[in-house]
Amino acid sequence: MIQIYTQNVNDIWFAIACTKQIVASSFADTEQKVLKNLLNKLPFNVPFQVISSTSDYARNVFTIMSNIFEGKKVNCNLELAMDNLPKYTVAVLKAVMQIPLGYVSTYGAVATAVGGGSRAVGNVMAGNIFAPIIPCHRVVKSDFSLGGYSGVLGSYGGGLITKYQLLLKEKQGYFESKNFLIENGGVLQIYPVEATLNKASKVFNCLL
C-alpha cells in the first residue's frame, strides 16, 4: 500500500507517495493541485491511502524538499523507488541529482555523461517523478536559456517563471564552470547558475 502525505510549508504544498522508499513527490500552490500532480505520477492500479497525519519520516522529507525549494544546501540521502524505471531514466535522474547547489548543467552535457542525446535527457526531465528532490530545474539548454519545466506555481506564473525563480534562490556567487565526476564514473560539465540567470533575466524581469 502506497501512503500519501501532504504538508504546507511557507505557502507551498508538498506531497510524497511512499512505501519504504519514496515512490513520487511533487509541489504546487494548493493541496488539490499537488495531490492531482502526485496521483498522475503513481503506477496504474496500485492501491494508495492518503494519510491525514504527518509521520516523522514524512516530516523529514518535507523539510528536505522545502530546503531544496528555498535554495538551501541539503544532504539528500533519501531512498527513491527507481527499480521499475527504465535503465536510461535512472541513469539520467541519478546524474541530475548530483548537480550541486549553485550550478546548472545542460541537456547535452548530461547526455555526454550518461549516454543518449539531449532530447532523450529532456524527455526524462519532463517526466521527473521526484521533483524537487531530483532538481530537474538545474538542467538548461546549451545556450543557457531555461529550456522546459513542467512545475507551475500560481503565484509565480508559468513553468519557466517557476524554474527561473527556483534558480534565482540558488545563486552562490560561483564564477567558473567545471567538470564534475558523477557516481557512474562519467564526467558532467556544470556551470554557475548565474550563466542562466543572466540570460533569463532579460526575458523575465519585465514579467515578475
Q: Is 54 left (phi over 0), alpha (psi -120 to 50) or beta?
A: beta
pLDDT per 10-residue tile (average), the chain, 208 residues: 95 94 94 93 88 91 95 91 95 96 97 95 95 95 86 60 91 92 89 90 60
The closest alpha carbon to 89, from 70, 58, 110, belongs to 110
pTM, entire model: 0.92
Cell numbers given for 189 = 560539465
The boundaries of every CATH 1.10.10.10 domain in the chain are: 87-204
Q: What is the pLDDT of residue 188?
A: 96
Mark out the alpha helices in 28-158 (DSSP H runs). Answer: 31-41, 56-69, 87-97, 107-114, 118-126
Q: What is the pLDDT of residue 52?
A: 87
| SS3 label, residue 17 | strand
Q: What is the pLDDT of residue 153?
A: 59
CA-to-CA distance for 111 and 177, rounded, in angstroms?
A: 17
Cell numbers given for 194 = 548565474
Q: What is the pLDDT of residue 207?
A: 47
Burial of 125: CB neighbours in 10 Å, binned 0-12, 13-18, 19+: buried
Question: Rounded to whole angstroms, what are the CA distances from 111 to 107, 136, 188?
Answer: 6, 14, 9
192: preceding bond cis by omega (within 30 degrees): no
Q: What is the pLDDT of residue 152?
A: 56
Task: Name the CATH superfamily, with its identifier, for domain 2-69.
Answer: Methylated DNA-protein cysteine methyltransferase domain (3.30.160.70)
Query: Which residues, 6 or more positions from 133, have their beta carbon under 8 angstroms from its beta carbon?
Result: 22, 25, 64, 65, 68, 76, 78, 80, 97
Tell me the fold of 87-204.
Answer: Arc Repressor Mutant, subunit A (1.10.10)
Signed CA dihedral, 92, 65, 43, 137: sign only: negative
Q: What is the pLDDT of residue 186?
A: 86
The boundaries of every CATH 3.30.160.70 domain in the chain are: 2-69
